[in-house]
């Protein structure tokens, strides 16, 4: 096990401060997708990045932003490699990241539950209940626990579309993965 040098820690902080291109309130550190920064040789750095979803198109933009930031810091050669294992999970989003998501109007993923879709009872047109064992998804606007699912997929694969039954505001929910 090689411990990170002070330089690697500084470069990691820089790379981690890059904003997610699709959720520009979150940094890559908040999102938990930055896996490692290795100084390979003088002026040559390798960054390990893991995608949220296998097909997430934001990875390319993230890589370019990381390269730009490290170049600006004087690193001549930057290579960003994508690693799949261990698979990213919404549990990797930091508490700070969850707070920022909520403020941005996106209900954060619920923690401490098995990943995957939640079984739901099917209503005539859509579903309102989430089963008794789970904490409810709260409306990011008014905080109400009374919200309903409109669609399992929203503007991106990582989100579901819901609506608050109290304030009637539709909102995105970063679904558990």
CB of 13 to other proteins, least distance (A): 27
Site residues (CB under 8 A) for other proteins, limited to 121-150: 122, 127, 150
CB of 55 to other proteins, least distance (A): 2
Orientation angle between helical segments 6-16 and 58-72, nearest 10 degrees: 130
Task: Determine the Cα–Cα distance for residues 129 and 169; give it in Å rounded to an integer.
Answer: 17
From the list 23-31, 38-46, 116-124, 136-144, the region that binds other proteins by CB under 8 A is 116-124
Task: Determine the Cα–Cα distance for residues 90 and 44; give it in Å rounded to an integer.
Answer: 31
Helices (H), strands (E): how many in the chain?
Answer: 4, 7
Site residues (CB under 8 A) for other proteins, limited to 36-75: 51, 53-57
CB of 159 to other proteins, least distance (A): 9
Q: What is the binding site for other proteins (CB under 8 A)? A: 51, 53-57, 84-89, 115-117, 119-120, 122, 127, 150-157, 161, 175, 177
């Amino acid at each position: 096990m090689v411990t990170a040098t002070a330089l690697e820690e500084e470069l990691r902080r820089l790379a981690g401060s890059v904003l997610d291109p699709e959720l520009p309130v979150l940094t890559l550190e908040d999102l938990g997708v930055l896996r490692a920064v290795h100084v390979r040789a003088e002026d040559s750095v390798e960054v390990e990045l893991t995608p949220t979803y296998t097909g997430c198109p934001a990875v390319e933009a993230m890589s370019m932003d990381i390269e730009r930031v490290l170049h600006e810091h004087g690193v001549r050669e930057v290579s960003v490699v994508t690693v799949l294992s261990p698979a990213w999970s919404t549990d990797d989003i930091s508490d700070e990241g969850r707070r920022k998501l909520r403020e941005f109007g996106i209900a954060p993923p619920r923690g401490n539950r098995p990943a995957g879709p939640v079984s739901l009872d099917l209503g005539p047109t859509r579903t309102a209940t989430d089963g008794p064992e789970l904490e409810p998804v709260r409306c990011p606007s008014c905080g109400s626990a009374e919200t309903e699912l409109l669609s399992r997929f929203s503007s991106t694969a990582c989100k579901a579309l819901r609506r608050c039954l109290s304030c009637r505001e539709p909102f995105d929910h970063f679904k558990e993965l």
